[in-house]
Structure 1
Amino acid sequence: MSQKLSMLSIAFGAALWGIIGLFVTYLYDLGFSPVQVVAVRVASAAILLLLYTYITGKEELRIDWKDSRLFIGTGIISIVFFNLCLFIAMEETSIAIAVTLLYTAPAFVTIFSRILFGELFTKSKITALLTTFIGCALVVGLLPYTGFDLSMYGVLAGLGSGFFYALYSIFATYALRTYSSTTVTVYTFVFASVAILPFAGLGDLGATLALPSAWINIAGIGLFSTTLAFLFYTKGLEKIESSRASIIATVEPVVAALISFFVFGELLDAWQFLGFILVITAVILVQERPRSSFLRRKAS
């Protein structure tokens, strides 16, 4: 694959992440709760990734079960809570606002990396952190303050999605010292599925699961916005370094914002749009590091 095709592959994978709001919103309309949406996403992705890996290289499925703690970190502590917070934020605010708050993850990773890995704060990192803070304040309506009218629960959930997504990068950094990215991703979703399915109450949906529209959206979130998104993104990384890939992947919030506007009629005012731009700018600024642990990426 040429470098140009690799860049397109990364952009396409990120765009598939960006359309997740389509499937989530319709599943909500069918009566799914955020926990149930997380459950069908991680379970369908786990099944598809297990099948894909078994066919293409079953040796990738071998792990030492003593390393389960690594996948408890990536799968349960990170992916389950990241998805739950993201989907709650989408329900409580809007797709565009939820995905913008998700993109606080690089700022959290920068802070965690300073504490855990000793990575120094540089001028560009400090600038990125301040830009993220100002951008989020604009998006949620704290700047300029004219009365806070967004759901505080939704805003906190959106910030929580960025926090737990950032934790995935930290846990994955340790896991990738022993296993390939494919192995880490597969078992991340397997562990996430085992953790959440017993508590999701999918049996309560009853007749809803008999509807073709339910399975179309479950397939969409599991196949398009998770499995294929990961495969396209990972394929692109064969020729594109992760820092550049992270910048290309900012197409995700752009696509999410377009879906939010054109499909669901969710509007950002001028100040919120400025905040949206600042958050994306901060993601680009923070990619000065030669090895970026944020968007190593994304089992989301």
Structure 2
Amino acid sequence: MFLSKNRLAYFYVFLGAALWGVIGLFIDRLAQADFSALQIVTLRVVSASAMLMMFVGFKDAKLLKIDLKDSMSFIGTGIFSIVFFNWAYFTAIEEVSLSIAVILLYTGPAFVIILSRIFFGEPMTGRKVGALVLTLLGCVLVIKVFPITADRLSWYGLLVGLGSGFGYAFYSIFGKHALQKYHPLTVITYTFVFASIVMLPTSGITIEIKQLASVDVWLQILGLGFFPTALAYYLYTVGLSMVESGRASIAATVEPLVATLLGVWIFNDVLTSFQIIGMLFVLSAVVLVQFRGRVKADLKQY
């Protein structure tokens, strides 16, 4: 029973991370429609918030009830994580490069492991550390960070990039805390509600009517809000409720693999040998981070 639940948890995390990996498809189409990066993030958050509120309201309105004293958890997932890490991530892209910004973002699992140790007492095992090293090396190879030239480096960019990883980690930490009391649907709904409250008035979004005149644009906005956002976060949050935060965050690093493979399939990108090795590193890390739980589960059978 334990083994089945463990596998199901990682399945949810993998599927959620895989959906995060398809976000490029929607961003590319909206960028072609002259939406800025900040506008796209705002549309993503607001559309997800609206869909989740309507869905949960129809499904079970009781899930929308929260204690005001618990708002800090949703401020953490929505503002400290979603809003902050998106700002830091896009700033890092401008200061350094997309590939380096992605790697800095994926320092998130390291922060999750450290913070989970502090707040939840989750053990910092050798397997976790080994999986983390494999993950970082794998992402470096998959995203093709090297060679790094001097003009691609900026201390401010590196610092903000690490900040994006820290903000990315906050979702797993605050989300894990909120899940001790609330349903995953409640957690993600209020995550995007709080994020929307901040982003709408502060993003400076100025969308011309003609940008919203296309049916295709609306389909892209709805697709962006649903697949790599509402559904992806729901699946990841369900998985997070069943396994340790550190393990879930490491398993979620399959996202850049999916994005890279999508680039090969959709945009005819060519995989290099280093990228293939990097993918194997990440997949090895994902297997490694699950291994201990499986051994314990097997021992419980006897």
* TM-score greater than 0.5 by the shorter chain: yes
The answer to whether 1:178 aligns with 2:181 is yes
Aligned to 1:296: none
Partner deviation per Cα, 1:148-187 (whole Å, 9 max, x = no partner): 6757688776654433221111111222233222211110
Instruction: Quote how far apart the aligned CAs of 1:110 are.
Output: 1.0
In 1: Cα distance, 2:267 partner to 2:159 partner: 23
Aligned to 1:37: 40
- Identity of paired residues, percent? 48
Which letter maps to 1:181?
A: P
- Aligned pairs for 1:77-116 (under 5 A) are 77-86=80-89, 102-116=105-119
In 1: Cα distance, 2:218 partner to 2:53 partner: 19
Which letter maps to 2:185?
A: T
Aligned to 2:216: 213
Aligned to 2:191: 188
The answer to whether 1:264 aligns with 2:274 is no
Q: Is the 8 A contact 1:34 1:88 kept in 2?
A: no
Aligned to 2:126: 123
The answer to whether 1:71 aligns with 2:90 is no
The answer to whether 1:166 aligns with 2:169 is yes
SS in 2 for 1:63: coil
Q: Is the 8 A contact 1:41 1:221 kept in 2?
A: yes
Aligned to 1:222: 225
Instruction: Quote how far apart the aligned CAs of 1:99 are.
Output: 5.8
Partner deviation per Cα, 1:199-250 (whole Å, 9 max, x = no partner): 2233344421223332121111012222233455667x59x95479778755
Instruction: Quote how far apart the aligned CAs of 1:68 are.
Output: 1.8
Summarize the Cα distance change of 1:216–1:55 in structure 2 as closer, same or farther, 3 Å threshold: same
In 1: Cα distance, 2:134 partner to 2:14 partner: 24
Instruction: Quote how far apart the aligned CAs of 1:280 are.
Output: 4.3
Q: Is the 8 A contact 2:77 2:174 kept in 1?
A: yes
SS in 2 for 1:263: helix
In 1: Cα distance, 2:292 partner to 2:79 partner: 28
Q: Is the 8 A contact 1:124 1:285 kept in 2?
A: yes
Q: Is the 8 A contact 2:106 2:136 kept in 1?
A: no
In 2: Cα distance, 1:167 partner to 1:107 partner: 12
Q: Which moved more, 1:124-133 or 1:165-174?
A: 124-133
The answer to whether 1:56 aligns with 2:44 is no
Which letter maps to 1:108?
A: F
Partner deviation per Cα, 1:72-95 (whole Å, 9 max, x = no partner): 11100101223344566778856x
Q: Is the 8 A contact 1:24 1:87 kept in 2?
A: no
Summarize the Cα distance change of 1:9–1:164 in structure 2 as closer, same or farther, 3 Å threshold: closer
In the alignment of these two chains, the number of paired residues is 285
In 2: Cα distance, 1:118 partner to 1:12 partner: 27
Q: Is the 8 A contact 1:32 1:205 kept in 2?
A: no
Partner deviation per Cα, 1:3-25 (whole Å, 9 max, x = no partner): 89998776554433221110012
Which letter maps to 1:285?
A: L
Q: Is the 8 A contact 1:135 1:276 kept in 2?
A: yes
In 1: Cα distance, 2:158 partner to 2:275 partner: 13
In 2: Cα distance, 1:277 partner to 1:6 partner: 22
In 2: Cα distance, 1:248 partner to 1:127 partner: 13
Aligned to 1:297: none
Aligned to 1:24: 27
Q: Aligned-pair RMSD on alpha carbons?
A: 3.8
SS in 2 for 1:262: helix
- Aligned pairs for 1:269-288 (under 5 A) are 269-287=272-290
SS in 1 for 2:267: coil
User: How high is the TM-score relative to the length of structure 2?
Assistant: 0.75
For structure 1, the 5+ residue unaligned runs are 291-300
Instruction: Quote how far apart the aligned CAs of 1:45 are.
Output: 0.5
Summarize the Cα distance change of 1:90–1:226 in structure 2 as closer, same or farther, 3 Å threshold: farther
SS in 2 for 1:202: coil
In 1: Cα distance, 2:86 partner to 2:287 partner: 23
User: How high is the TM-score relative to the length of structure 1?
Assistant: 0.75
Partner deviation per Cα, 1:110-139 (whole Å, 9 max, x = no partner): 122233334333221222233344345545
Which letter maps to 2:81?
A: S
Q: Is the 8 A contact 1:54 1:61 kept in 2?
A: yes
Instruction: Quote how far apart the aligned CAs of 1:198 are.
Output: 0.8
Q: Is the 8 A contact 2:21 2:259 kept in 1?
A: yes
